Structure 1
Amino acid sequence: MVHVLHENSLPEEPWFYMFDWDAVIYFDKRQKFIKKVYENSYYIPFPCAPLRKFDQEKARKQLNLPLNKKIILIFAQRGYAPYLPSLPSDLKDKILLLILSSKNRVSDILEAYSKSPNIEVRVENILSWEELDKYVFASDAVILHKFRSRGHAVVSSTIFQILGTKKPFLVPKYSDFFHPLNSEVLKYGNNLELGQLISDIARNDKKVKYILKNAEKYVKANIAEKIAEDYVKL
């Protein structure tokens, strides 16, 4: 019997310690504290969905999005918050910031951002992974702004699901939820840095090519099938 630890601290439930686990798995090295309780604890990285691609123009047509702009997707669901970059003046007319929001949050987001001509807000209550994929493929980059979590989550499962889409992802520099990823994503500390990174993406800067190459390597090394083999070997 194997337990996969998802929490960022020792489980509080008494039943957890009643089992004689054959193994306890942790997928983030910050969870190593579990070894103090169970010596038969093993680190196995969080699995990634496979590398994949889809025609950007086709995705945009299916989603009724403009074909002549750079689209930056801002995921504002499941604990993610909208966070807008400070764009250079020469890019403001060339970029569309597309915010996906759940219905219960959309009124506040619309009130804050709907008057801006380069921002579009869409209500998408619950997206399947396939639906999220389509939005990612339609975009030129994705902002995943997350600092807080429901419960005691350690990492953002979303980033591992969509890292294989071969798009640049922008995440907060000081967020714990993207801790395993360093040279595979672009990290910002404020909206000015975020704006500069989007400018780099628009220019296809070498740092963008660098993180995309590293992200592809990371996905190949941690693809779900390989991670499953590690579990079987236990």
Structure 2
Amino acid sequence: MRIGMMTPWNANSGPSICAELIGREWVEAGHDLRVFAHDGSNSPDGIVIQEDEEYVERCFGTSYWGRDEWLDPEPILRFRPEIFTVQNLAIMPMNELFKVYGEIRRYSKTALVIHEGYLPDEPLFYKFEWDAIICFDERYVRLFSTVYPKDKLHIIPFPYHPIVSGDKGEARRMLSLPLNRKIILFFGYSAWRNLPLIPALDEVNRICPLHILVLTTDGRSLRGFKLESRRVKLPIEIRVEAPPLSRLYKYLHAADVFVKHVEDEPGDENITLSSTVHLCLGSECPIMVSDAKIFESLNEQVVKYPARNLEKFKSRLIQVLTDRDLIEALKRAARKCIEENSASKIAERYLTLFTALKES
């Protein structure tokens, strides 16, 4: 099948993670994929973090990431895909895409993957006609059924990265990390959200030697952790990098726990999910998350704690660092979760839908 996908790619963003996980499966299965990708970013969440595959053409820019809005439609029109799909329309150069969208629909069935956890204000968003609209779960369906016909809405869950096991000692030696401390990993463009945990981690460090590892290129995160590293005796190592996937998994294999702390903003009703957890769960590194809305769909595959209760965070962290039975239970739950919604299975569900669209 000839599939064209307009999407962020090889970037630290939810749409990119979703697109990469299913897109690489399509290529592996022998389908002809062309990725029409963004030209980078002026902010950390959209930067290109690894070399592109041969089927990727960078042919648009978006103001969402501080770039000029532009689109070169020639690669799309030249490829003439049987299926043309867009990930996260609201961040695309919609004006430029709409100019050629009628031409695309002359020879392609079209599918939109909804990442927006809200109804966009831009009227142009709703002028695109789609043969199918893909939602990750019922929450998105309830929201978007108010603006789209229900028979066009299809639920296909967000994919999980497959299981890739690794050796902790080997990973630490390769990455020049300490062998005799418990490593707590923070990473990403929103690593600064973890800063409220530093006092609690400083206390845990007095009874269990810790090493805090921060991977980020985000200015706010870098400034915040540098300041905290001067205030506490807790070892905080900051590495200015946005690692490509293979290197990120080495870091996850080296860590004792990956922590993602989020505190809900009052009045924020947007639907959301954690693409980062979907990407990282396959490493089998234990994951701790706060009880924020972004993690509401996660259950026994992670360890949750109340976002504003540092005592509970400390006690659950110590349990993760010392309870082998808990670690094994987390691994079993992660494997079950990934088996149900693996990238390969989710990619196949897209293909089943695309086949039905072609035959309709």
1:99 aligned onto 2:210: no
The unaligned stretches of length 5 or more in structure 1 are none
Q: Give the whole-Å Cα distance in 1 for the aligned partners of 2:235 and 2:207.
A: 10
**What is the aligned-residue RMSD (CA, Å)?**
2.3
- 1:62 to 1:116, Cα distance in 2 relative to 1, 3 A: farther
- Provide the TM-score with structure 2 as the length reference: 0.59
Greater fraction of residues in helix: 2
- Aligned to 2:178, the other structure's residue is in SS state coil
Q: Give the whole-Å Cα distance in 2 for the aligned partners of 1:85 and 1:230.
A: 45
How many equivalent pairs are there?
230
Question: Which of 275, 289, 292 does residue 171 from structure 1 map onto?
Answer: 289
- 1:28 to 1:119, Cα distance in 2 relative to 1, 3 A: farther
Aligned to 1:161: 279
Q: Give the whole-Å Cα distance in 2 for the aligned partners of 1:200 and 1:178.
A: 20
- Aligned to 2:179, the other structure's residue is in SS state coil
Aligned to 2:131: 22
1:130 aligned onto 2:246: yes
1:1-234 pair list within 5 angstroms = 1-32=110-141, 33-38=143-148, 39=150, 40-75=152-187, 77-80=188-191, 81-82=193-194, 83-84=197-198, 86=200, 92-102=207-217, 104-105=219-220, 106-147=222-263, 154-173=272-291, 175-189=292-306, 190-234=309-353
1:114 shift after superposition: 3.6
Q: Give the whole-Å Cα distance in 1 for the aligned partners of 2:121 and 2:325.
A: 46
- Provide the TM-score with structure 1 as the length reference: 0.87
- Aligned to 2:272, the other structure's residue is in SS state coil
1:147 shift after superposition: 4.0
Q: Which has the higher contact order (CA 8 A, sep 6+)?
A: 1
Q: Give the whole-Å Cα distance in 2 for the aligned partners of 1:185 and 1:144.
A: 11
1:59 shift after superposition: 1.0
1:108 shift after superposition: 2.7
The one-letter amino acid of 1:197's match is R
Q: Tell me the alpha carbon deviations over residues 91-119 of structure 1, each in whole angstroms, 9 at most, x when there is no partner.
A: 63432222333352323321123453432
- Aligned to 1:122, the other structure's residue is in SS state strand
Larger-gyration structure (1/2): 2
The one-letter amino acid of 1:215's match is A
The unaligned stretches of length 5 or more in structure 2 are 1-109, 354-360
